[in-house]
Amino acid sequence: MTNTISALPGQERYVAPIEETPLRAVDAVDTDAPATSMWADAWRTLRKNPLFIIAALVILFIAFVAVFPRVFTNLDPNYCTLDNSRGAATAGHPFGFDLQGCDIYARVIYGTRTSLTVGIATTLIVILLGGIIGAIAGFFGGWIDSILSRIVDIFYAVPLLLGAIVVLQMFRSSTSIWKIILVMAMFGWVSIARIARSSVLEAKNLEFNTASTALGSTPMRNLFRHIIPNALAPVLVVGTTSLASYIVLEATLSFLGLGMPSGNVSWGGDISTAQTMLRTQPMILFYPSAALAITALAFIMLGDAVRDALDPKSRTE
Amino acid sequence: MTENTNIPEPILEVKDLQVEFNTSAGAVKAVRDATFNVYPGQWVAIVGESGSGKSTSAMSVLGLLPGTGHITGGSIKLEGKEISHYTQKQFEAIRGLKMGLVPQDPMSNLNPVYRIDTQIKEALKANNIDITREQRIKIAEGLNMTEAERIAYENVHDDSDELFLGSDKRSALLEAAKKAGEGIISDETFDTWDKEWTAGSVTRWNVRHDMVKAGIDEKKAEEIANEYVTGSSMSDRIAGLLDEAGLPDAAMRARQYPHEYSGGMRQRALIAMGLAARPRLLIADEPTSALDVTVQKRILDHLHTLTDSLGTAVLFITHDLGLAAERAQHIVVMYKGQIVESGPSLEVLQHPQHPYTKRLVAAAPSLASKRLESTKERAEVHSKQQESGHPENISDTVISVKNLVKEFKVPGRRELFKAVDDVSFDVKRGTTLAIVGESGSGKSTVANMVLHLLNPTSGTVTYEGEDIHSFNAKQLLDFRRHVQPVFQNPYGSLDPTYTIYRSIEEPLRIHKIGDQKSREARVRELLDMVEMPQSVMSRYPNELSGGQRQRIAVARAMALNPDVIVADEAVSALDVLVQDQVLHLLNDLQAERGLTYLFITHDLAVVRQIADEVVVMQHGKLVEHATTDEVFNNPQTQYTRDLLDAIPGGKLELGLD
């Protein structure tokens, strides 16, 4: 006890009562906590996000409309008589008629299918094409990366809208909905490729790849089993956010008269024909525009929610 | 005890401090009823593992609690003044000036786009350092003086301890001093002055004091000091501060960017910043944890002299018990947000009373003096194997490294960089060979070549007598079955998208061993082996702590029943208790299975616990190779001696009662 004399006030020897500071086992495993993976965590975050719930409900509804338009209307959107031109809303025709005498309600309902098909198909192609090319560039590096990256740069230098206009002009005669999907995919894959390349590069340098190699794994096995699953999240985030922009772009192209071939009902096309009557009958313009805006907004909200869930760093709180 | 006449006032008094963090799961108490004092000029250490609340306690003193943290009770008194309720603005006024901070991570605490001098200048300007300390304190305390008052104050006040030597008058001062001291002082003294009178660091008072001490007439000394030490420019002062922090060529270095600095140099720059305003309290949060031991020792030695000469108190946060014992007079041990034991550091560590402190002392590698106990057991297993006529007809050397050289291309340079330079050693069956070295010594490069993850420039690595770098794909796969790695980073070496089950099963899958059912049985067996509950199988790595992940990594390495495990800094990132646990696990596995370990580490203290033989590497070269006892008791080279000296607390006799 001789040492305590030299201690300054407030610095005397102190030992906490053991009952107040119980010891726990070193590094005990918390067996009660629920299992979480990145995806399970993301799903849990999503489930609680009101933004996601609203967006998901709206999208589910839109998808239902697109798949089963007949549930909502039994009118043919392409059956138009000039007798009904600019007709007001009547029973069975809640939105009235456009200039050609087509039922606006039916056209809005059937337009859903076009917009959704174009948006989803383009996104899938873009993710696949961009993802594979980006992954190859990031994984192999060296001259393969150099060549692929320059190709990406070249496509990046062409403005999407301008490129789409030029290419679509060349295929004016084609009547397939796929021409517009392919054109948008052709200029859209580059941004995904860049993201995929950088996230593969990042995942490639993580230690678990070295660990796997030392366990006997081959580089290709590492790519498919470890690198791609770990590089997927940012690609998916950009994919979902850009879905909305493809829907809007399709409408823009259709508005410019380059989009959907005649016979296909498209919101963009309808907006285009309605613009001449903006001052006299704005409602003809309003309905397809509103449908487009709601759909695009729902997908943008979904994309935001997915980004927040998969990449908590980007959240601003 | 009562007749103590001049008991100093504590500079910092923390009483019943409570800190809470708001999380989505409600309020979490990070610090509960913490009470401790720091006296002027004293070093006080707060020791604890990660999550013990040691950093949180210190940060609440600085008003720098992260995120949702806030003080919910207790008091913090700085120089007798209650500061726990201060607003950020009030904290800004006293931070830097009254208390400085040396942060933990030198890599992320310097802005990479600014030169070092710009960053120090900012720290100086933020604290109005261009005026005297007393004025700064007055300003900080809101007693703004008028211009007239200030001038009057300056005229009366003797600021000779605040007036620095400028680089423009340095040579003139030396000349004058030489003239005045002709015949009185030796050339040696003069040389010391030449070295020590640094512009921007040495004050008028210092110069006068030095001269008087050397025998120059007091009046004359004052005259010279007053004439030549008339204040320094900002850049002189910055260079002086860096020089004080022990940075060589400070004036030139100040113009460089952080990326041109090594880790140790960055930490010195941060120390210079923390001490720029001459605070009376310096809070150092694990200031040297990211650095090599020899660098750590040099920096702390220097910080010690510096704070001693300035009379600065240091509140020192560390996880290293040895370091705390060696550096601090008073030690505070924290566990789960509470102080479990405190007192004079030697006494606490020599006679720990709380079970947690006892546990810590027992586990601290820097304080241990012998190899872990299962050695004996292992030797028995080994001799039994031989007695029972176990087929040991293969040579006793499992891995043999001969004249290994690895050269790397350095971008922008023509000559190759030799990372490993002519290294040879043998690893004997059933033993542990440790490769020790500081960062950049090439030890990990050797490990990667032994693991066949890198090809050597020249030289060979043989496994069971065969050159592994001549293997074809099939032989290589077979080699991988027998030689397994455990890596440093427990957060990086497990794929976050894999469940624990899939992670451990992966090697079995790669080598196509067993069916689904037998593989699952094997995974369960392996989890038992590393003392993890089988319920973790469905979990993901992010749910486990660093030590648990490292145990999973060991289980994965053991899945194929290897002969050799190459552990690259396998325990370096772990808390002492967890580190101790993993080391015991590795040791037990070796005892039970006769495994051979190649153990790469920078920590000589760990080596003593696990290794039979030690290879010391420096700058890619092998500098010493001997048994562990020989290296520790009779080191042959200066470098090894330096490394041993640098083990914190290595010379202290500590232990349980």
Choose one of B320, B344, B363: the last residue of a domain.
B363
Residue B394 reports pLDDT greater than 50: no
Class of residue A74 by CB neighbours under 10 A (exposed 0-12, middle 13-18, buried 19+): exposed
| Same-domain check for residues B478 and B583 | yes
User: CB distance B343–A13 less than 8 Å?
Assistant: yes
- List CB contacts of B619: < 8 A, sequence separation 6 or more: B421, B440, B441, B442
pLDDT of residue B2: 45
Residue A168 reports pLDDT greater than 90: no
The strand order across the sheet containing B613-618 reads B483-486, B564-568, B596-601, B432-436, B613-618, B621-627
User: CB distance B344–A37 less than 8 Å?
Assistant: no
Instruction: Among A6, A18, A20, A29, pick the best mutation site for testing chain B contact (most B Cβ within 10 A).
Output: A29
Give the residue on A whose Cα is nearest the Cα of B14.
Answer: A10
Segment B587-599 shows an average pLDDT of: 89
Does B555 touch chain A if contact means CB atoms closer than 8 Å? no
Q: How close, in Å, is residue B488 to chain A by CA atoms?
A: 9
Instruction: Among B340, B472, B575, pick the best mutation site for testing chain A contact (most A Cβ within 10 A).
Output: B340
Report if residue B113 sits inside a domain: yes
Percentage of residues of chain B with pLDDT beyond 90: 18
Which residues between 311 and 330 in chain B have a beta carbon less than 8 angstroms from any beta carbon of chain A? 330
Residue B92 reports pLDDT greater than 90: no
Give the residue on A whose Cα is nearest the Cα of B6.
Answer: A8
Report if residue B553 sits inside a domain: no
| Same-domain check for residues B350 and B411 | no
Determine the 3-state secondary structure of B352 from DSSP: coil
Higher pLDDT: B15 or A310? It is B15
Report if residue B337 sits inside a domain: yes
pLDDT of residue B161: 55
Looking at the structure of chain B, the number of domains it has is 3
| Same-domain check for residues B469 and B589 | yes
In this predicted complex, what is the ipTM? 0.72
| Same-domain check for residues B99 and B160 | no
Does B9 touch chain A if contact means CB atoms closer than 8 Å? no
Round the CA-based radius of gyration of chain A to a whole number and report it: 28
| Same-domain check for residues B383 and B339 | no
| Same-domain check for residues B394 and B356 | no
How far apart (Å, rounded) are the C-alpha atoms in residues A166 and A153?
A: 19
| Same-domain check for residues B461 and B571 | yes
pLDDT band per the 50, 70, 90 thresholds, residue B596: very high
pLDDT of residue A3: 41
- Per the DSSP assignment, residues forming a β-bridge with B316 are B45, B284
Query: In the structure encoding, which two tokens stand for residue B221, read together?
Result: 């000394």
Residue B383 reports pLDDT greater than 70: no
Boundaries of domain holding B618 = 373-491+563-646
| Same-domain check for residues B155 and B67 | no
* Cβ atoms of residues B610 and B595 within 8 Å: no
- In chain B, what residues touch A37 (CB-CB under 8 Å)? 496-497, 499, 540, 542
Choose one of B333, B363, B393: the last residue of a domain.
B363
- Lowest mean pLDDT across A62-66, B366-370, B449-453, B587-591: B366-370
Choose one of B312, B334, B363: the last residue of a domain.
B363
Q: How close, in Å, is residue A311 to chain B by CA atoms?
A: 14
* Cβ atoms of residues A309 and A49 within 8 Å: yes
Does B562 touch chain A if contact means CB atoms closer than 8 Å? no
Report if residue B71 sits inside a domain: yes
By C-alpha distance, which of B535, B233, B546, B82 is closest to A27?
Answer: B546
Does B348 touch chain A if contact means CB atoms closer than 8 Å? yes
Q: What is the pLDDT of residues B501-560, one digit of tens each?
A: 999 999 999 998 888 899 999 999 999 888 888 888 888 887 788 888 888 998 999 898
Class of residue B25 by CB neighbours under 10 A (exposed 0-12, middle 13-18, buried 19+): exposed
Segment A132-150 shows an average pLDDT of: 92
pLDDT of residue A60: 93
Q: How close, in Å, is residue A161 to chain B by CA atoms?
A: 38
| Same-domain check for residues B486 and B600 | yes
Q: Crossing angle for the helix pair A104-140 and A50-67, nearest 10 degrees?
A: 120
| Long-range CB contacts (within 8 A, 24+) of A11-14 | A11/B36, A11/B37, A11/B39, A11/B330, A11/B342, A11/B343, A11/B344, A12/B343, A13/B342, A13/B343, A13/B344, A13/B347, A13/B348, A14/B339, A14/B341, A14/B342, A14/B343
| Same-domain check for residues B570 and B438 | yes
| Same-domain check for residues B221 and B293 | no
Which residues between 436 and 465 in chain B have a beta carbon less than 8 angstroms from any beta carbon of chain A? 451-453
- Per the DSSP assignment, residues forming a β-bridge with A142 are none
Global pTM value:
0.75
User: CB distance A23–B510 less than 8 Å?
Assistant: no
Q: What is the CATH number of the domain that holds B393?
A: 3.40.50.300
- In chain A, what residues touch B355 (CB-CB under 8 Å)? 18, 23
Say which CATH architecture domain A58-311 belongs to.
Answer: Orthogonal Bundle (1.10)
Give the residue on B whose Cα is nearest the Cα of A217.
Answer: B510
